[in-house]
Amino acid sequence: MMKQVLENVRLASSAVNKQPWRILKSGNDFYFFKIGKKNLEVEGYKNYKMDMGIAMCHFDLSCIEFGIKGKFIKTNTELKVESDDYKYVISWIQEN
């Protein structure tokens, strides 16, 4: 089911199809990262915050649809995305 949740996030709309986020999985938890503001604004793209919210909403609503319980919280994470340009935003922690 989580594959479908992530597919729904991938299909979520974003300005000019930038999809400026990455989601890393560790155990049953998911960590949301956004691309650095500096790089996006250089390209004239300023909707990255809204796009991140759309991705998070699709993730949460898909989990609800599949009966997967969890919540968004800020955590201290040592996880890194393949590029240092990505900044940690929030975690989605699955509840038992």
The SS3 assignment for 20 reads coil
Count: domains in the chain: 1
Higher pLDDT, 93 or 35: 93
CB 11 within 8 A of CB 3: no
The predicted pLDDT at position 43 comes to 60
Which CATH number do you get for residue 56? 3.40.109.30
Res. 67: pLDDT tops 90: yes
Segments forming the whole domain that contains residue 43: 2-94
Tokens representing 10? 């991938």
Q: How many helices (H) and strands (E) would you count in the chain?
A: 3, 4
Task: Determine the longest span between alpha carbons in the chain, in angstroms.
Answer: 43
Res. 16: pLDDT tops 70: no
Provide the CA 65 distance to its chain's centre, in angstroms. Answer: 18
- Rounded CA-CA distance 86/45 in Å is 16
